[in-house]
Amino acid sequence: MTVLITGASRGIGAGLLAHYRASGETVYGTARHPSEGLAPLDVTDPDSAAVLATKITDPLDLLVCNAGVFLDRGQSLATGYPPALWADTFATNVTGVFLTIQAFLPHLRAAKGKIAIISSQMASDTKATGSSYIYRASKAAVLNLGRNLAHDLAPDGVAVGIYHPGWVQTDMGGAGAAITVAQSVAGLTRCFSDLSVGSTGCFLSYDGSVHPY
């Protein structure tokens, strides 16, 4: 199996990369500023994705769109949330997912592969507890993107799943989060394995339960 994971320099992405490497899969991890063993990819730059797509020639069994940012934590409703934060967040969390998928569509179609989009429970209307409006909006947008891609790619045999990875103990989730990276990775990889055209468009939590929209 050939796997590509974006945003693999730390946190969940690094955990997924380690898991698939330990399993003996052919796996590529990317980062905007990569260290050794990672490929350069700025998901906001279509040229960057196109270059990487020429270097990875294998059919792609699994693309994990994990790269993401959370820039508006703690912003004030009265005075915060400047336009630049909206633009930068959507460029990574939404447009970046689309550009990456677009660049690797030939690889995915060749393998009848799978696309796993890491969203969040904060995308859900049922989890509308306020604040972090930009991040919430971006994750809701990428959930919608994934479900529409699922519709269009099903005839090609390419399945798309959208996932809440849990509240994870990472730089983004914080030390007080509910689960470890290892727990999230164990659940997510089971979900990816189970994903098929029959379940395409699903929105699941890392434990495999259906997440409300």
Output the domain CATH number for residue 63.
3.40.50.720
Q: Specify the length of the chain in residues.
A: 213
CA count, 13 A, side-chain hemisphere, 19: 21
Residue 172 has pLDDT above 80, yes or no: no
Q: Is residue 197 situated within a structural domain?
A: yes
Q: Is residue 210 situated within a structural domain?
A: no
Place of tokens 């969203």: 119
Q: Is residue 127 situated within a structural domain?
A: yes
Q: Is residue 39 situated within a structural domain?
A: yes
Count of domains observed in the chain: 1
The residue among 50 and 171 whose pLDDT is bigger is 50
pLDDT, position 171: 67
Q: Is residue 181 situated within a structural domain?
A: yes
Residue 199 has pLDDT above 70, yes or no: yes
Q: Is residue 86 situated within a structural domain?
A: yes
pLDDT, position 44: 96
Give 118-130 pLDDT, tens digit per residue: 999 999 988 889 9
Percent of the chain with pLDDT over 70: 98
**Nearest alpha-carbon partner for 163 in 148, 182, 178, 185:** 185
Q: Is residue 190 situated within a structural domain?
A: yes
Residue 172's domain comprises: 2-205
Give 75-110 pLDDT, tens digit per residue: 999 999 999 999 999 999 999 999 999 999 999 999
* Cα→Cα distances 95→80, 90, 107, 157, 211, Å: 23, 6, 19, 23, 23
